């Protein structure tokens, strides 16, 4: 096989129509553009989304409010911890953000803005908790067990 014998497959290359080359060619006079109108003229184009003066689709559909960068990145969300997690620590322990980070609960990461203790579960041990947020039910259960709650910002 040599280079001079290489050719595309039959039917894979279509010869383009030569328009506007006289009536005998079959594509003369209007050159396949029909009669008159904006699209028949030289440089006659319609912008994307234009619907002939009708209210375009992008203006007809309802719009929704924006979401702030904080909401998208999740900077206003907390790492949630239940009271059952605090039950795993020893009685009289001081539980703060560093202690919880060692246990695998990260606060202040890119997605979370801190740690919040929820009141689901039971707590029987006396613990001191220093977290970013706590629910009222969790606070009452911790204090009922003899512990203390301190909020850190």
Residue 133 lies in a domain: yes
| Amino acid 133: pLDDT | 92
Domain of 91 in residue numbering reads as: 73-151
| Amino acid 105: pLDDT | 80
| Amino acid 107: pLDDT | 64
Residue 33, SS3 per DSSP: coil
Q: Provide the domain count of the chain.
A: 1
Question: What is the Cα–Cα distance from 26 to 37, expressed in whole angstroms?
Answer: 21
User: Which residue has 């979370």 as its token pair?
Assistant: 112
Residue 36 lies in a domain: no
Per-residue model confidence as pLDDT tens digits over 12-58: 999 999 999 999 999 999 999 999 999 999 998 999 999 999 999 99
Per-residue model confidence as pLDDT tens digits over 83-113: 999 999 999 999 998 898 888 887 656 656 7
Question: What is the Cα–Cα distance from 55 to 131, expressed in whole angstroms?
Answer: 54
| Amino acid 55: pLDDT | 96
**Can you list the alpha helix ranges (DSSP code H) found in the chain?**
57-60, 69-73, 83-86, 97-102, 136-144
Question: What is the Cα–Cα distance from 123 to 83, expressed in whole angstroms?
Answer: 6
């Amino acid at each position: 096989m040599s280079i001079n014998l290489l050719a595309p497959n039959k039917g894979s290359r279509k010869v383009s129509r030569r328009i506007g080359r006289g009536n005998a060619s079959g594509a003369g006079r209007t050159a396949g553009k029909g009669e008159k109108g904006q699209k028949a003229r030289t440089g006659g184009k319609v912008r994307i989304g234009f619907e002939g003066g009708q209210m375009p689709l992008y203006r007809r559909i309802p719009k929704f409010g924006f979401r702030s960068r904080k909401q998208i990145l999740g900077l206003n969300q907390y790492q949630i911890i239940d009271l059952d997690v605090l039950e795993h620590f020893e009685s009289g322990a001081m539980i703060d953000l560093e202690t919880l980070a060692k246990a695998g609960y990260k606060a202040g990461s890119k997605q979370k803005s801190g740690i919040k203790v929820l009141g689901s579960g039971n707590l029987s041990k006396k613990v001191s908790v220093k977290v970013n947020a706590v629910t009222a039910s969790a606070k009452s259960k911790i204090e009922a067990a003899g512990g203390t709650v301190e909020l850190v910002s």
